[in-house]
């Protein structure tokens, strides 16, 4: 039986799209659901394009009820992937899916992580720190932002004249290249 992936995203969903593309014709795994807290998120259009069901939830549903957990359990989800999802994952969800929730962070953790460190905020912090390299970190999700066990890191060099857009572009290249493959490798290691 194919492994089942659920993707959480809050925005555009370019990483979600790369994951959906990667698993579209995969015999081992498939994306079965895209979830978002943002009814305007472009990721909903992307999931629609791949004919993958989506679910929009409220803050109340996510933090005060077990609706999201029930939905994921009913779909027998094996792995939850956060792809640009901005809310802290509640303990109830972490407990329901232990070591089965992963996230991609657009910097080399533990540097430039924590609350509010997402998207351009991260890249601006990297540039402000004068770092000569940055990269991506794929990690398990814990009860604190960006503190879970690291699964994979990839790096790129920051040149002296790199601006925000260039750093962001270099990072996205690594995200799109590595995130789907890391997910696939993780699923292969999981017991059926």
Cβ-contact 42, 146 below 8 angstroms: no
Q: How far apart are CA 66 and CA 29, in angstroms?
A: 25
- DSSP states of 24-83 as a string? HT-SSEEEEEEEES-TT-THHHHHHHTT--EEE--HHHHHH-SHHHHHHHHTT-SEEEES
What are the catalytic residues? 105
Query: What gap in Å lies between CA 63 and CA 65, rounded to an integer?
Result: 6
CB atoms within 10 A of CB 49: 10
């Amino acid at each position: 039986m194919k492994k089942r992936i659920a993707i959480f995203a809050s925005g555009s969903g370019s990483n979600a799209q790369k994951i959906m593309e990667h698993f579209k014709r995969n015999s081992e795994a498939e994306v079965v659901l895209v979830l978002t807290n943002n009814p305007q998120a472009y990721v909903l259009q992307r999931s629609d394009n791949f004919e993958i069901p989506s679910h929009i939830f409220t803050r109340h549903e996510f933090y005060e009820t077990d609706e999201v957990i029930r939905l994921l359990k009913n779909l027998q989800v094996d792995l939850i992937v956060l792809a640009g999802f901005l809310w802290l994952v509640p303990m109830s969800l972490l407990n329901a899916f232990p070591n089965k929730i992963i996230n991609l962070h657009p910097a080399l953790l533990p540097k430039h992580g924590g609350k509010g460190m997402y998207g351009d905020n991260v890249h601006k912090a990297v540039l402000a720190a004068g770092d000569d390299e940055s990269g991506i970190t794929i990690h398990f999700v814990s009860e604190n932002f960006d503190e879970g066990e690291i699964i994979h890191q990839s790096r790129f060099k920051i040149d002296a004249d790199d601006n925000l857009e260039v750093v962001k572009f270099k990072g996205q290249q690594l995200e799109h290249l590595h995130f789907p493959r890391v997910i696939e490798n993780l699923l292969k290691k999981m017991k059926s």
